[in-house]
Structures are given as structure tokens and as C-alpha cells.
Amino acid sequence: MSDERDGPPPSSPFTYAPVGGTVHGGLPPGRPGLRVRTRLGGGEAVFRAACDAVMEWRMHRAMGVRVAADAGRAAPGVAVTVGLGVGRVRVYGPCRVVWAVEEERRAGWAYGTLPGHPVRGEEAFVVERHEDGSVWLTVSAFSKPHAWWTRALLPLVRVFQGAYAHRCGQVLRRLSRGGARR
């Protein structure tokens, strides 16, 4: 399991294609992936709090994910290394933000994998406020195993990815409850 906390240089190429495949909310044709939607609540205050928590890495950190990023807020080109696990059983994955959006009713971003990441692919986290006022988080991802152990454990990796996406929604619902309170 990789212990590359610093990750590759920021100019490293992405390890997958199509880069930006999650930008329109779907998944590239023919690519296995996941899409998990979670209702967070409703109203402008919930929307703003959820957007800030996603854009500022707070959702990930509240889940126990270690995040080392070049910037305090997600933006295209920002290098990010995520660490999942506990103690010596922590896996580090270098990534770079592929795209980010902050609009009146939609905010989020996606990162893509760089050399040293145990999988190859892209994952997006998008918060939306619908016309009825409801606020939703959508986690979309497509990937394939890269490290020997992710290939060997593929069924468990897929289960973990789905559980991770659901947990993002649960944690973000808690963080955005009460609006802008932090």
C-alpha cells in the first residue's frame, strides 16, 4: 500500500481517459462506475453550507479522510492527495482537480487520478438545489483498478466505493444541517 503523501509533481499526466468524463453529471459510455444521490435537506442555507463543505474539503475531512491540497478550495489544477485508512494501514492517492463549478444552484468538482494512485479514474462531488428547494449531493465516479491489490480485491473495492459515496451524503447532510453553522 502506497505511503506517498507528497504524491507526484503537479504536472504529472492523468492516468485515465476520458479526463472530465463526469463534468455533465453522467458517466462516460461503456465505463463501469457509480452514481449515488443523497438528499441533504432544503433551502438556501443548507445549499450554501453544503457547497462550502464540499468545496473546502470539509466533507472529506469530516469522514476521516486525510486531505493535503495545494489550495483551501477546490479549483481546476489543484493537486490533492487523499489518505484513507488508519495508522499504518492508510492508502494515499494522488489526484488533481479536473473541473470545478460554482453556480447559483450547483457547486462541486471532480478529481482525477495521478501516478501512484491505486485506481485509475475520476470522482465528482456535486451539490444541487432544485426548483422545489430540495438540496442533493451526487457522487459520480468511474475507475478501474491499477495497483495489484486493487485488481485482486476488485469486488471489495467496488463495495467500498459505493459505501464511501453513501457516507459522503450522510456526512454532508450532518455538516449542512442548520445552514451556515460550522
Cell numbers placing 75: 479549483
Mean pLDDT in residue range 84-100: 87
20: pLDDT confidence band, cut at 50, 70 and 90? very high
Give the model's pLDDT for residue 179: 56
DSSP letters spanning 112-170: EE-TT-SEEEEEEEEEEE-TTSEEEEEEEEEEEE-SHHHHHTHHHHHHHHHHHHHHHHH
Give the model's pLDDT for residue 152: 85
Domains and CATH numbers, the chain: 35-176 (3.30.530.20)
47 three-state secondary structure: helix
- 144-156 pLDDT, tens digit per residue, is 888 887 778 888 8
62 vs 102: CA distance, rounded Å = 22
Give the model's pLDDT for residue 10: 57
40 vs 135: CA distance, rounded Å = 5
